[in-house]
């Protein structure tokens, strides 16, 4: 491995939301992905989740 990682898919609406520290006393934000369907897709195509492309991941984005 070369040590170079591809950029992550960031689903946050703003950089503040992405960088913010979570508050354990508040309800967590709603997921922006159908996680269960994403995992099922990864298993079906024989890939690990981190091997999926951005296009594959964004198929499961919640509108």
pLDDT score for 21: 77
pLDDT score for 27: 82
**In this structure, how many other beta carbons lie within 10 angstroms of the beta carbon of residue 24?**
6
* H helix or E strand, kind and range, residue 43: helix 35-45
The three-state secondary structure class of 33 is strand
pLDDT score for 43: 96
Per-residue confidence in pLDDT tens, the chain, 63 aa: 566 665 566 666 666 666 677 778 888 778 888 999 999 999 999 999 889 998 999 999 988
pLDDT score for 39: 94
């Amino acid at each position: 491995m070369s040590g170079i990682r591809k950029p992550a898919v960031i689903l946050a609406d703003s950089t503040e939301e992405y960088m913010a520290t979570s508050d354990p006393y508040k309800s967590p934000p709603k997921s922006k992905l159908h996680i269960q369907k994403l995992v099922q897709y990864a298993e079906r195509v024989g890939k690990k989740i981190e091997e999926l492309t951005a296009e594959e991941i964004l198929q499961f984005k919640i509108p």
